[in-house]
Each structure stands twice: as structure tokens, then as C-alpha cells.
């Protein structure tokens, strides 16, 4: 989201006016106390999930249940139960997953989500309004049991109304613990999910003030002039000219250490970032595609920290970029499980699962696989809505001599992306098996956002 540089109004990544609600503290009384369950067995695990589903107003008998043991959770030599439950009918789907320590019954995490199969898409000019949407969300919360009572309420409207409740305890925000409610234009709840992880209470003794932190952070995060491409809310296709917007430089994953005041990065380590003042563009300065990479950094399409732009792009990185570029309302929602039964938590893995579920990526690939030019042509064509053309029997005559051994879908995709000047043909060759650098991949996505 940013501020329209001409009108001063908030705009979303579709280029449409974005309505924001007040941020305020909110407290509920219907709390489902998350306490250790004692030494676990499969019977107790089953009883737990059934009781939880009942507390959310569901009939456990309708759910498909799967319980398995992980002997080495997160490589920590901790034995846990992984619990999965799901139910779907013509109207809605519900997913539940939880991780519970076997020895003491400590609930490590709970994720619960329900959504309508055919949510409505609101008209931009009408709607119940933010205040009514927030009241609808609060009323919905009053009918279920939640894992925490103190919340910070954050609301806004893009496609529909989104009301997020974030755990807020003794002045500390716990952003991994959230309750999210999506409300359509008519006041119907179309999506609801809970994400909860057991977190030790944060020690806030000796911290600097918020005012001091703001001064520190202002050294690194600045308002920058960027742009958004207006998109049709239904098809996602670009419409109209780019809108200049002011946005804060995206340094997601970084912050100010509240005790030392140092600028720190959160990831594999929490050591202070080297070199004093942080420049979000450090990784792309001097690259041949620097201008486009900076645009993607400004608009949050490339997350921080920026990958090594001269190295081959991986499937997981490509999936993350594609979800942000072609799914404006995309947000991370952990998948119930991978094939091995583990909960998927990495942004790249979650994005890949999301694209597989949407049918953008149908091939058997892993996040760590390198990406070929042919794969990108195919995935871009699907992501941009050319599915029927990709799968058609139209005989595209291409002046290309190195794609005859490819299947129909890939050849059709190459015809689409080359005709629309998204990818190129040189000397009669497309070079479908060549790998792409992260930098060149971003340029191709940029071309697709403009031309497809």
C-alpha cells in the first residue's frame, strides 16, 4: 500500500483507493486457554482436536482426521504429534492443524482456517463501510473460542474488508499470533483463520522508548517515490497508466533492537547488520537490471533480504515473486502439511504450495530446484490467465528451431510470451533449457506485468 502522489489518497497494489480503519486495542472474553495437556497419546490427541473443533462451532464427525508422530521436530530432538483435520462441502472448506509435544502436552502451534468456496467480489463504489465490517468481524469472533484475549485491531479494504486481530500483551505485539477475518461488501464473512504459536513472554526490561526507536528506524526506512500498475479486480489484468505513489522503503524482516538500539536483521541470526546505515538497494546496485530490481524492491515484490541477483533463480524464489506480482491480495497462509507430513513454514515453500493449489505450477518441483526458461514461460502464461490458450490445439507457427521436442502446453506458452514481448527469441532459438538468473527472471516478470 502507498499514498497516491497526485491525490494524497491511500492506494493498494491494484491502484485502487484503499480504505483504512482505526488501529485500536481490543479485548475479548471468550478465550480458549492454551495450557499443556499432560503426557500425550493418540487418544488424547484425538480428543483435543475434537474438542477444539466443537469450540469453533463444528461437528467433528464430519472431519477427516490424520494424526502422526514426528520424532525430531524442527531438528530439536523433540517428539511431537502432528494433527490434521479438514472438512469441505459445496459451501465452504475448513482446515485445522496443530503440533503438540508428546512428553508434556505443550501446544506448540494451532492453525485453523475456514473459507467460502465462492466468495463474492464487492463493487469498489459500494459497501457496508469499515466500521460495520469491523463490527461484523467482532461479532463473528464472539461465537468461537480464541487462543488469546488482548489484541491490536488493524482493518482496511481492498477487494473486500480485512480485519486483523494481532496478539497484544502488556504493550508488546506478537505478530505470529493472529486472527484474520475477511468480510465482503454485503457483510458476509468469506474467510476466517487463526494462527497461534506458543511464545515465551518477551522480557521488556531495559528497552529504549518508541520515540528513540523511530529516530533510529528513520535512518533506514524512507518514503520513496514508486508506482503501482492499476489492475482489474476480477482478472488481475493491467488497466490504465501506472500511478505514482509514495511508499516506505520495504525492509521487511529488519528492525531496531529494543534494548541496544542497533539495526538488526531477523533470519538465520539476529546479529546487527554490518556497515552502519542500511541501504535496501545494496544487493542490486550495479546490476544491468538495477532500475527494474529497485522498482520491485520498492513495491515489496522482492522481499528483504534481496537474494543474490546474479545467481540462478530457484523455484521457491520464483513462486514467491509470482504470487506477489500476480496475486495482489496474496498473504502467507501456512499449508497444512507437505508430503512428508511437516508443516510448511518458509515463505518460498508456502508460495509454491499456493501456486500449486491455484494450478499455476502443476509440475513436480521443489523450492530448491533451479528454473528454466521454458518453465517460466509456462508458469507466467498460467499465472496471467492464459490457461485455455495454453491447453488449446491451436497450431502456433513459431520461427524457433529448438522447441520441437517440447509438449504442447510449453510450446503454446512460449508462443504467448514471445508474441507479447515478455521473453525473446535470438537467432531462431528460445533456449528452453537455459537457467535464469534472479535478475533476468525479475525483468521477465516485469515485462509480463506490463504486457500480459
Length of the chain: 452
Predicted confidence at residue 144, as pLDDT, reads 87
Calpha distance 227→72 (Å, rounded): 46
Cα torsion at 71, 74, 80, 81 (round to 10°)?
-100
44, 105 Cβ separation under 8 angstroms: yes
Calpha distance 440→384 (Å, rounded): 19
182, 191 Cβ separation under 8 angstroms: yes
As to burial, measured by CB atoms within 10 angstroms (0-12 exposed, 13-18 middle, 19+ buried), residue 262 is middle
Neighbours of 58 (CB within 10 A): 19
Q: Mean pLDDT of successive 10-residue segments in the chain (452 residues)?
A: 79 70 88 88 95 93 94 87 94 94 94 82 69 94 88 85 91 89 91 90 86 79 70 67 73 69 58 57 90 84 85 95 74 46 68 89 93 95 88 74 84 90 90 95 93 84
- Look at the block and give the residue holding cell 463504489: 125
**Whole-structure pTM value:** 0.60
Predicted confidence at residue 127, as pLDDT, reads 82
Predicted confidence at residue 255, as pLDDT, reads 72
Q: What is the CA radius of gyration of the chain?
A: 23
User: What are the residue ranges spanned by the domains of the chain?
Assistant: 9-197, 204-310, 328-451
> Which secondary structure element, helix H or strand E, spans residue 415, and what is its range?
helix 408-419
Neighbours of 164 (CB within 10 A): 19
Residues 6+ apart with CB under 8 A from 9: 3, 17
- Measured in degrees and rounded to the nearest 5, phi and psi for residue 212 equal -65, -40
49, 56 Cβ separation under 8 angstroms: no
Predicted confidence at residue 119, as pLDDT, reads 58
Calpha distance 301→295 (Å, rounded): 9
Q: In the chain, helix, strand, coil percent, each to 5?
A: 25, 25, 50
Residues 6+ apart with CB under 8 A from 440: 289
Strand partners, 193: 113, 180
Predicted confidence at residue 210, as pLDDT, reads 85
Find the DSSP H helices in 160-242.
Answer: 210-217
Strand partners, 133: none
Residues 6+ apart with CB under 8 A from 76: none
380, 444 Cβ separation under 8 angstroms: yes
Amino acid at each position: 500500500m502507498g499514498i497516491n502522489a497526485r491525490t494524497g489518497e491511500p492506494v493498494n497494489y491494484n491502484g485502487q483507493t484503499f480504505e483504512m480503519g482505526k488501529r485500536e486495542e481490543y479485548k475479548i472474553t471468550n478465550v480458549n486457554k492454551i495450557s499443556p495437556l499432560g503426557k500425550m497419546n493418540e487418544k488424547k490427541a484425538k480428543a483435543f482436536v475434537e474438542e477444539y473443533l466443537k469450540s469453533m462451532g463444528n461437528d467433528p464427525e464430519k472431519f477427516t482426521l490424520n494424526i502422526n508422530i514426528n520424532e525430531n521436530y524442527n531438528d530439536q530432538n523433540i517428539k511431537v504429534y502432528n494433527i490434521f483435520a479438514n472438512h469441505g462441502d459445496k459451501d465452504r472448506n475448513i482446515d485445522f492443524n496443530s503440533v503438540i509435544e508428546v512428553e508434556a502436552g505443550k501446544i506448540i502451534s494451532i492453525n485453523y482456517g475456514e473459507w467460502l468456496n465462492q466468495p463474492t467480489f464487492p463493487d469498489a463504489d459500494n459497501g457496508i463501510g469499515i466500521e460495520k465490517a469491523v463490527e461484523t468481524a467482532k461479532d463473528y469472533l464472539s461465537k468461537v473460542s480464541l487462543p488469546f484475549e488482548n489484541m491490536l485491531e488493524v482493518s482496511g479494504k481492498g477487494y473486500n474488508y480485512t480485519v486483523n486481530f494481532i496478539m497484544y500483551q502488556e504493550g508488546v505485539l506478537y505478530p505470529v499470533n493472529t486472527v484474520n477475518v475477511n468480510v465482503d461488501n454485503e457483510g458476509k464473512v468469506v474467510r476466517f483463520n487463526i494462527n497461534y504459536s506458543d511464545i515465551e513472554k518477551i522480557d521488556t526490561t531495559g528497552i529504549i522508548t518508541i520515540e528513540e526507536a523511530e529516530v533510529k528506524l528513520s535512518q533506514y526506512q524512507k518514503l520513496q517515490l514508486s508506482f503501482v500498475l492499476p489492475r482489474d479486480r476480477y482478472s488481475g489484468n493491467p488497466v490504465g497508466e501506472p500511478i505514482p505513489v509514495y511508499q516506505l522503503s520495504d525492509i521487511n524482516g529488519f528492525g531496531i533492537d529494543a534494548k541496544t538500539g542497533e539495526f538488526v536483521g531477523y533470519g538465520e541470526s539476529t546479529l546487527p547488520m554490518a556497515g552502519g546505515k542500511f541501504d535496501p538497494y545494496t544487493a542490486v546496485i550495479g546490476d544491468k537490471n538495477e532500475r527494474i530490481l529497485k522498482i520491485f524492491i520498492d513495491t515489496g515484490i522482492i522481499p528483504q533480504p534481496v537474494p543474490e541477483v546474479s545467481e540462478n533463480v530457484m523455484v521457491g524464489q520464483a513462486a514467491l515473486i509470482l504470487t506477489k506480482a500476480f496475486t495482489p491480495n496474496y498473504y502467507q497462509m501456512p499449508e497444512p502439511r507437505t508430503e512428508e507430513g511437516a508443516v510448511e513454514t518458509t515463505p518460498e515453500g508456502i508460495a509454491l504450495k499456493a501456486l500449486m493449489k491455484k494450478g499455476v505450477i502443476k509440475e513436480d518441483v521443489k523450492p530448491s530446484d533451479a528454473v528454466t526458461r521454458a518453465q517460466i514461460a509456462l508458469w507466467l502464461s498460467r499465472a496471467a490467465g492464459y490457461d485455455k490458450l495454453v491447453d488449446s490445439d491451436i497450431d502456433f507457427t513459431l520461427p524457433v528451431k529448438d522447441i520441437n521436442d517440447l509438449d504442447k502446453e510449453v510450446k503454446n506458452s512460449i508462443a504467448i510470451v514471445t508474441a507479447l514481448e515478455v521473453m525473446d527469441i535470438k537467432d531462431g532459438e528460445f533456449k528452453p533449457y537455459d537457467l535464469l538468473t534472479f535478475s533476468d527472471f525479475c525483468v521477465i516478470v516485469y515485462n509480463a506485468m506490463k504486457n500480459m
